[in-house]
Amino acid sequence: MAARPARGARRGRLRVAVLRRARLRGRARRAAPARPAPSRRAGGRNGALARAQPRAVGSRIARRVKVLYLTTNYPAAESPVDGVFVREHARAAAAAGAEVRVVHLQRTPGRKGLYELVPEEDDPPLVRVRYRRFGRPLSYAAFLAGARAAAGDPDVVHATSHLSALAALTLRKPVVYSEHWSVFLPENPARLSPPMARAARFALERADLVLPPSEAMRAALAAHASRARLRVVPNVVDDELFRPTPHEPSGRLISAGLMGENGAKGYDLLLRALALLDGGSPVLEIVGDGPRRAEYEALARELGVEERVRFAGLRPKPDLAERMRSSDLFVLASRFENNPCVVLEAMASGLPVVATRVGGLRELVDERSGLLAEPGDPESLAARIGEALDRLEGFDREEIVRRARERYGREAVGRLLLRAYEDAQRKAEPPPPHGLA
């Protein structure tokens, strides 16, 4: 999908169509923010992981920056884990001093018209735009119209998918765009359709700043959209909720994640690795649910490990935090991965991690925090789990916690987000008149 202005684009009316090429006019004529532009510019176009500095970034902004989070994924009663990483980013930005609102573009049957706006009490403030399930392109028209109706007048729009970024670009505001979708990663066999791939490239190259959460995703997005301005800003861990306690060996492994149709989390590989461990191996608890749960439960019985595996289902975050604190080791057997929040949460809880050598996991796990196994290889995974259990007391849990908080804690990532918003505003400002530079 790509959006093209109709003749009345200056008055905010859009025509939506599936096109090979698309262009949004008038981006250069956006109103500049009231504050003056600082003289120092951010370095690097495709920079590595941004580092949070100890200074308060917000001190350079004359007032609280108003940020609109425009997202197609956000926790809801019917899908409590959907877009949790978006809410954590929004909360980190708010805690760092931004004035944050969230607009969730939710494709559901509306009661009337193209869409309806449904405010909800949440932290940060939330409005759900429930747009109607029409066929294309009318569904996209409802999507865009609802986004514009709920947007208000922010200083910066933070979009969290390429579809919400397309809507954000029509608002004529500085756009920061986070992309979390693993479909861009080379290890993921799924691919975008050609129209969706063009829409994603359009959004990536026209956003003022794109924030992939891992180096792996940064490289994948750079390959897809060479002109995108990329800066790595990782996911957030709630380091007040996920915290360590004095460790007492429990004989428990823990893994967590959705049991999706694509098998991304590799639970079949993990169960086969468990079967290869000695009979005295610890109990494995899997926190999560999904359409393949029954298949994994059947596999555990087939492998003869059903007495050593507990399928806990979906659990609230506080419950997951407690379960992590009472475990010895976190294990993730993913086939492809970006910057998984569950690994950040495990580390903030002081858990060593055994994970597969794919995507962003290679950036998270090193010899001080755990061990990496070869992807798709139960024997390698079993060997690394056994090795980690043998040297369990050799891991410095306090060091694991400290590093997790310094890089992924709410305060650290909040500073990175404020700097991104500041830089996006500066980039979007028009150049000074000739002779006044």
206-237 per-position pLDDT tens digit: 999 999 999 999 999 999 999 999 999 999 99
**The token pair that represents 200 in the structure block:** 């994603």
Domains, in order of start, for the chain: 66-224 (3.40.50.2000), 252-408 (3.40.50.2000)
DSSP element (H, E) containing 128: strand 126-131
pLDDT of residue 45: 43
Q: State if pTM tops 0.85.
A: no
Task: Provide CB contacts within 8 A for 350, sequence distance 6+.
Answer: 244, 245, 247, 325, 397, 398, 400, 401
Per-residue pLDDT of the chain (437 residues; tens, 9 = 90+): 444 344 333 333 333 333 333 333 334 444 444 444 444 334 444 444 555 544 444 444 458 999 999 999 999 988 888 999 999 999 999 999 999 999 999 988 656 778 899 999 999 999 999 988 777 777 888 899 999 999 999 999 999 999 999 999 999 999 999 999 999 999 999 999 999 999 999 999 999 999 999 999 999 999 999 999 999 999 999 999 999 999 888 889 999 999 999 999 999 999 999 999 976 678 999 999 999 999 999 999 999 999 999 999 999 999 999 999 999 999 999 999 999 999 999 999 999 999 999 999 999 999 999 999 999 999 999 999 999 999 999 999 999 999 999 999 999 999 999 999 999 999 877 666 655 54
pLDDT of residue 161: 95
Query: Which residue, 359, 318, 357, is CA-closest to 180?
Result: 359
pLDDT of residue 135: 73
CB atoms within 10 A of CB 349: 29
Burial 12-27 (b: 16+ CB within 10 A, else e): eebebebeeebebeee
pLDDT of residue 114: 83
59: exposed, middle or buried (Cβ count in 10 Å: 0-12, 13-18, 19+)? exposed
